[in-house]
Structure 1
Amino acid sequence: MPFIKIYIHLVFSTRNRDPFLNTFDIRLKVWKHIKEYATEKGIFLDMINGYSDHCHCLISLGSNQNIEKIVQLLKGESSHWINKNQLTIGKFSWQDEYFAVSVSESMIDPVRNYIRNQERHHQKKSFNEEYEEFIQKYNFKM
């Protein structure tokens, strides 16, 4: 049996960054559903949270998993579930792009805290500002 611990901080937004997840109640339902679905599919989802137009996940990859497949599963199934349950006004979908960065063992707790405090964080900073910080901090080329 392989022993693997590869943590990934995953961030994805709603289509056109529309604030579909605009109430705490909707977000709570969506995050709970994504967590349950991840467990069902054998995806280790350590932490999930977000705000009205995006989602943060801290995941750990299993030996037979890759980021693309996990993102496809989580986004695809949750979009379907949100629409089936009519949680939003209009057709819901996630944007195609996403961020995924590795997280070292020493940074797990700070990333968990960052994800846990999204509500408070976004009282001061928009997702666009956060997006620009990710681009610069992780040296993504646009």
Structure 2
Amino acid sequence: MKAGTFTQIYIQLVFSPMNRHALLEKSIRPRLFEYMSGIVTNLGHKSIIINGMPDHVHLFLGLNPKIAISDTVKEIKRASSLFINEHRLSNGKFQWQNGYGGFSYSRSQVEKVYNYILNQESHHQITTFRQEYLNILKKHEIEFDENYLFEFFDD
């Protein structure tokens, strides 16, 4: 980063295992999320919190503007898939589904987003992943075509 360059960019990433299979069992999530946090840190970003459910993951990070969000997601998915498969943390070959959601937040929203991601289990007792994802898209006023969303199987 050059002298006189200052950034403060907070991004929430959301993505899912291939075909939204519930492969992220509770027993593997802490180990996986710690590994994913290491990937984020090694890319020069600041890992704030990573949490999720069996069928999706939320990553909240302070973005290093030198690295594109798409490259960040690509590397997180690539390296974490290798980690899951090499350590046999899932039955069969693990893959992430194509696509992701990337949402920006201001500094004043960091605590709220952190707590939201921290409390995924209680949140999903009343809201499906599909409802959650659509709500995030609408809240951020992102236009979308339902044909290009994740494959949701809870309809």
TM-score (norm 1): 0.92
Percent identity of equivalent pairs: 38
2:20 aligned residue: 17
Which residues in structure 2 correspond to 1:23-34 (within 5 Å)?
24-34=26-36
- Separation in 2 of the partners of 1:133 and 1:63? 27
SS in 2 for 1:77: helix
Q: 1:85 to 1:46 in 2, by over 3 A?
A: same
Whether contact under 8 Å (1:48, 1:56) holds in the other structure is: yes
The structure with the greater share of residues assigned to helix is 1
Whether contact under 8 Å (1:43, 1:70) holds in the other structure is: no
1:125 aligned residue: 127
Deviation at 1:138?
2.3
1:83 aligned residue: 85
Cα shift readout 1:66-105 (whole Å, capped 9, x = no counterpart): 1111111111100111011110111111111111111011
Higher mean C-alpha displacement, 128-137 vs 94-103:
128-137
Cα shift readout 1:23-71 (whole Å, capped 9, x = no counterpart): x221111101111222233221111101101110111221311111111
Specify every segment of 5 or more residues in structure 2 that has no aligned partner in the other structure, as ranges: 146-155
Which residues in structure 2 correspond to 1:94-113 (within 5 Å)?
94-113=96-115
Runs of 4+ in 1 over 4 A off after TM superposition: none
Whether contact under 8 Å (2:43, 2:72) holds in the other structure is: no
SS in 2 for 1:34: helix
TM-score (norm 2): 0.85
- Greater Cα radius of gyration, structure 1 or 2: 2
Deviation at 1:136?
2.4
The structure with the greater share of residues assigned to strand is 1
1:61 aligned residue: 63
